[in-house]
């Protein structure tokens, strides 16, 4: 299990370690006794009980058998899977391709009613155009050497966008101004994407804010994250995908979203920034053509 600095992941691992320790004590065993029964090195059971080494599913089964608690093995393995799922490296998440990674998030989108998204890298997937999504996923597929199922993955993401128009869901999107000026897919793709941002912002259940670039802002850009109601936060980092369910951590991201939202501009000022970025793309194209 990959480790992370998330207190949610740490607490989940420690809770599992504590439960295993309780089983050992309830069975009247010491760590050394349990290691001997399982055929492990003397230090292994201690490392697991102290949360320093995560157990495998087989370790848990052996532990429960040694403690006479076989009936608790599957429940403890489920806890292990939950802890593992809080931090997933991109290679593991995408080992079967990008399509499956996209499909895995659909149930979360379907049960969420209030979405809050902040992005400092890319336009959020929920409001991407098909060409922009294609360019972004192609870049990921090539960089990470994944199986090429980009066409299928794009189709899944486009299908997922239907939640924008269904039910009583509300969406608040924040993007850094730099996102408007980052060339993903080339000038034509970016221009189409920026025009789509303007259209999406006109939906009654959608808010689109742009955080302007400024030399004196007090809240600096952060990693991109999604808030799903008040139940879960997902954070996309360079190394992997983090799921947070600890209330204190969710509150921290909600506070960060509020602070960034206060820096953002909306309506006509936001459209002006988007239009400026579109005009810059046009100027870039003209400059390139003049040099041909």
Q: How far apart are CA 153 and CA 147, in angstroms?
A: 11
- The pLDDT tens digits of the residues spanning 90-149 come to 887 888 889 998 998 899 999 999 999 999 999 999 999 999 999 999 999 999 899 999
Residue 80: pLDDT band by 50, 70, 90 thresholds? confident
- Name residues whose C-beta falls within 8 Å of residue 244's C-beta, 6 or more positions apart in sequence: 6, 8, 86, 232, 233, 234, 235, 250, 253
Per-residue pLDDT, averaged over 219-229, amounts to 94
- Kind and range of the H or E run holding 236: strand 232-236
What 8-state DSSP symbol labels residue 53? S
Residue 4's pLDDT is what? 45
Fold of 90-290: Endonuclease; Chain A (3.30.870)
The packing angle between helices 7-26 and 73-85, to 10°, is 160
Question: In the prediction, which pLDDT does 6 show?
Answer: 55
- Judge whether residue 231 has pLDDT over 50: yes
* pLDDT above 60 for 290: no
Instruction: Find the DSSP H helices in the chain.
Output: 7-26, 31-38, 44-49, 57-66, 73-85, 90-93, 98-104, 106-111, 130-144, 150-160, 177-180, 187-201, 247-263, 267-290
pLDDT at 82: 72
Cβ atoms 66, 34 nearer than 8 A? yes
Where in the chain are all domains bearing CATH 3.30.870? 90-290
| DSSP H or E stretch at residue 36 | helix 31-38
> Which class would CATH give 7-85?
mainly alpha
Tell me the whole-structure pTM to 2 decimals. 0.76
Residue 288: pLDDT band with limits 50, 70, 90: very low
């Amino acid at each position: 299990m990959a480790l992370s600095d998330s207190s949610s992941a740490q607490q989940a691992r420690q809770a599992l370690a504590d439960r295993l320790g309780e089983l050992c004590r309830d069975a009247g065993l010491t760590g050394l006794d349990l290691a001997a029964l399982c055929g492990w090195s003397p230090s292994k059971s201690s490392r697991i009980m102290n949360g320093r080494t995560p157990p495998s599913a087989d370790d848990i089964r052996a532990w429960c058998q040694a403690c006479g608690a076989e009936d608790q093995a599957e429940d403890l393995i489920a806890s292990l899977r939950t802890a593992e799922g809080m931090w997933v490296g991109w290679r593991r998440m995408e080992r079967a391709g990008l399509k499956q990674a996209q499909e895995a998030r659909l149930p979360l989108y379907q049960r969420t009613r209030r979405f809050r998204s902040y992005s400092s890298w890319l336009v959020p997937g929920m409001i991407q155009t098909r060409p922009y999504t294609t360019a972004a996923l192609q870049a990921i597929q090539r960089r990470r050497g994944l199986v090429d199922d980009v066409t299928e993955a794009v189709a899944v993401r486009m299908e997922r966008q239907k939640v924008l128009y269904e039910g009583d869901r509300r969406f608040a999107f924040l993007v850094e101004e730099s996102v408007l000026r980052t060339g993903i897919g080339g000038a034509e793709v970016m221009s189409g994407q920026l025009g789509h941002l303007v259209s999406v912002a006109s939906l009654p259940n959608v808010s689109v804010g742009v955080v302007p670039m400024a030399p004196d802002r007090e809240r600096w850009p952060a990693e991109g994250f999604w808030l799903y109601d008040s139940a879960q936060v997902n954070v996309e980092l360079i190394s992997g995908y983090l799921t947070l369910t600890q209330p204190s951590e969710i509150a921290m991201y909600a506070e960060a979203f509020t602070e960034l939202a206060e820096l953002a501009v909306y309506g006509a000022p936001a459209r002006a920034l988007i239009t400026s970025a579109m005009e810059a793309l046009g100027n870039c194209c003209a400059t390139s053509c003049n040099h041909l």
